[in-house]
Structure 1
Amino acid sequence: MSSSGKGVRALLTAVLLAAVAACGGATSPEPTGSVTLTWWDYLDHSPMADQAVDALVKRYQDGHPGVQIRRTAIPRAEFAAKLDEAIAAGTFPDIAAVDVAALPRLAAQDVLADLTPRFSSWEVKDLYLGPVRDSVQHDGKFYGVPLRTSTTALLYNRDLFTAAGIGTAPRTWDELRATARALTAEGRSGLCFAAAGDDLTANFLPFLWQAGGDVKDIGGDASVRALSFVDGLVNADRSAPADVLRWSNSDVEREFVEGRCAMMINGPVAVPAMNQAGLDWVAAPLPAGEAGSAARVGGEAWVLGRRGQHGDRAWDVVRWLAEERGNATEFGAWLTALPNRSDTIDDIGWRWDPNVPAFAGQLTRARPAYGARYPEVSEAISTMARQVLGGERSAADAAGDARTRLEPLLR
């Protein structure tokens, strides 16, 4: 990272630390006659993220003495199961921060408030980037408000590029393959990406889109091209290790930070570890296939429980959190989020790292378009890709089987 970039980050960090310290994380006693809202999230993955959420909750309560927000932070690995338990018991929280990929499934279970009337008349709705706005819709209705927006990019170690005489990031599939081969050496892979479970689906979808295909087209030529390209990286060139089939994004982050990967596909959540390690790294667009470059939009959205007794107040809370620019940028820094509105895309408050604009330029495609049965869709896609990467099936055979599984899920 450049010295100027480090200076900007240090200044923003100091300002944001002061803001969190000033707000504090303690909750005040419930005022007489107050409205009490339940709030669930899994945003306690780091002390700073946890404090940022607590600070914003307290800030709202301080400005609205009649409102008490009772926050419950649940480990991410347990969050979906806890939500399902709440659905079964009829105790879905008033406000929850959920993965946008889970939003269609929850909406189809009729537990989320339909926010379409509120969202449609909201003056900031058209400021959200198109794919971000799409990510909180299901069947043409709005069920969420964008919270943390994320995506993936090609991240590379500039020192390793320099040592190999490579001056620029690969821009096409052919260049990516050649660059990955050139950077592969004893004890180091040219390219790493996560290929365990849903992480494999999330990382394969951009290759599918770049090849000119989509999930509904799996079984066709584009899906075979995408599978064959990734297969070539792992099994023909061995520039991506077979271990990717066991790796999550956090595993890939570790391998990159420790110098065992020269390039990786990952998101902004990896930034703190790379900076803490002192790496000279750069984010670049995912290389383009026949149909150009494409990346996915991920992250979380605020949703409201349909049966909540205080829907107006719950909406006011998430509207306040989303509209106030200081709130959004504070979340941005501590939750490694990206600016998701056209009026903030160039805001200096969002520059918690010099590479944020490169990540933000990748916000091109929403995942939840695949509907309420996305978990099953994802499992079919990851099984297909795992069979190819594991050397069990040819690309054409695996894609054909996946098409059979996917057709009833997408119908």
Structure 2
Amino acid sequence: MIQRAQKDPPKDPPKYARTPPLLAVVLLLAVVACGGGDPVPADRVTLTWWDYLDHSPMADQAVGQLVKRYQDAHPEVEIRRTAIPRADFDAKLAQAVAAGTFPDIAAVDVAALPRLAGQDVLADLTPRYSSWDVKDRFLEPVRASVRYQDKFYGVPLRTSTTALLYNRDLFAAGGVADPPRTWEELRATAQALTVSGQWGLCFAANGGAATANFLPLLWQAGGDVTDVGADPGVRALSFVDGLVNVDRSAPPDVLRWNDSDVEREFAAGRCAMMVNGPWSAPALNSAGLDWGAAPLPTGAAGGGSLLGGEAWVLGRAGRHADRAWDVLRWLAEERDNATEFGAALNALPNRSDTVDDLAWRWDPNVPAFIGQLAGARVVYGPRYPEVSAAISTMVRQVLGRERPAAQAAQDGRAALEPLLR
């Protein structure tokens, strides 16, 4: 009988050959990192990003490319972008403020910045600005647009202003050689170019557009929001009243037009001149129009224009403030970022070192808009929506023949006083 040999029981491996479970995991990750597969950063950061810059495929693509470019250069950062329609953006931000879920990074209208800062939801960037040399390159009106109560709350993004746009063909047909430079010339030119089926001048006066187009006239007359009931305010109201209701060189339809409506009428050749911004350039070029841009005509006190646009802001409660600030610096400091983004958004160069940069000349008429920036103003405050509504009401009462200019100015002053205290 053959007996099967018994095997010795297995012996424990020597102590030096044992691998603790935690160490085994670490070694496995190291093998994966050195072999196939990308390493997984141990300190990965996720940033939330909100904007309303998907209004055109070109703009949306530019934002998407910027986000991707930053993430490619910083694999430890994930930016979760949410593009919200412009009409819904303010309401969504208000909901986020109420819920305490304000995003890490947001692109907001500069008119909304003081209100958000006053609600204590934005990070105070003043300490970061103190050691940031780029801040001194932004034009003063641009810097002013991101300040509130002497503190910085944003990084300028898109800067814009308005100018006087004119149709060269209609000017030639009407025997007008050059765009008007003063209020008197503007009124005379608008009258000369008003013929059957064609208005001399078009502008928007529906809602907030009435405020945006009236404020430059108020400043050009030597007035300001704080004393809108004084003589300069009455003169500015009388001037627009003269264009629409006396000379009839501007259509009564301005009361229902926004900037897009005016752009459409101008592109169709039904307006010889219009007040509008650089955002109109793509549509006018697509229409094959021979157009130019000139500074807004000056009043008794000289020129003046309203500065608009957006700024990047950081949420005050964000957990990754240093990384979010690094994103904003990267957006502002990298030349290619600024020029590509500027062209996609029809923005203007807003720094002293970029105003003459040819890379910003995405349209031949950009210099005319740039010339408006030096004297541009901001009139924002925490209650700007109410201020704008009061000014708009005043202007529309005059254009709609509900009030004479002097009475409307006094009513406007009474409405504005408590809002400006």
The TM-score with structure 2 as length reference comes to 0.90
Q: 1:154 aligns with which of 154, 160, 164?
A: 164
Gaps of at least 5 residues in structure 1 are: 1-27
* Count of residues paired in the alignment: 384
Who is 1:334 aligned against? Answer: 344
* Structure 1, 45-54 or 356-365: larger mean CA deviation: 356-365
Q: For the Cα contact (< 8 Å) 2:305–2:377, is it kept in 1? A: no
Who is 1:305 aligned against? Answer: 315
Who is 1:249 aligned against? Answer: 259
Who is 2:80 aligned against? Answer: 70
Q: 1:220 aligns with which of 196, 220, 230?
A: 230
1:367 shift after superposition: 5.3
Q: 1:112 aligns with which of 110, 117, 122?
A: 122
Q: 1:92 aligns with which of 102, 125, 128?
A: 102
1:181-237 Cα distance to aligned partner (Å, 9 max, x none): 111111111101110111110010000000000100110000000000000000001
**Distance of 2:51 and 2:76 partners within structure 1:** 22
Q: 1:345 aligns with which of 336, 345, 355?
A: 355
**Distance of 2:416 and 2:240 partners within structure 1:** 21
Who is 1:289 aligned against? Answer: 299
Q: Please give the residue correspondences for 1:356-367 in structure 2 after superposition, counting only pairs within 5 Å.
A: 356-364=366-374
The TM-score with structure 1 as length reference comes to 0.92
Change (3 A) 1:368 1:31: farther
- Partner of 2:363: helix, strand, or coil? coil
Q: 2:46 aligns with which of 8, 15, 36?
A: 36
- The structure having more radius of gyration, on CA atoms, is 2
1:376 equivalent in alignment to 2:383: no
**Distance of 1:31 and 1:259 partners within structure 2:** 58
1:239 equivalent in alignment to 2:249: yes
- Partner of 1:170: helix, strand, or coil? coil
1:352-401 Cα distance to aligned partner (Å, 9 max, x none): 01111110111145654441111110000000000000000011101101
1:151 shift after superposition: 0.3
Q: For the Cα contact (< 8 Å) 2:210–2:395, is it kept in 1? A: yes
Structure 1 runs, 4 residues or longer, greater than 3 Å off: 28-33, 364-370
Task: Report the residue type matching 2:99 in the other structure.
Answer: A
Q: For the Cα contact (< 8 Å) 1:112–1:303, is it kept in 2? A: yes
Task: Report the residue type matching 2:230 in the other structure.
Answer: G
Identity %: 76
Q: 2:178 aligns with which of 168, 180, 185?
A: 168
1:107-155 Cα distance to aligned partner (Å, 9 max, x none): 1111000111111221111110110110111111111000000000000
1:79 equivalent in alignment to 2:89: yes
**Distance of 1:29 and 1:210 partners within structure 2:** 61
Q: For the Cα contact (< 8 Å) 1:294–1:364, is it kept in 2? A: no
Change (3 A) 1:264 1:180: same
Gaps of at least 5 residues in structure 2 are: 1-37
Q: For the Cα contact (< 8 Å) 2:205–2:254, is it kept in 1? A: yes
Q: For the Cα contact (< 8 Å) 1:190–1:261, is it kept in 2? A: yes
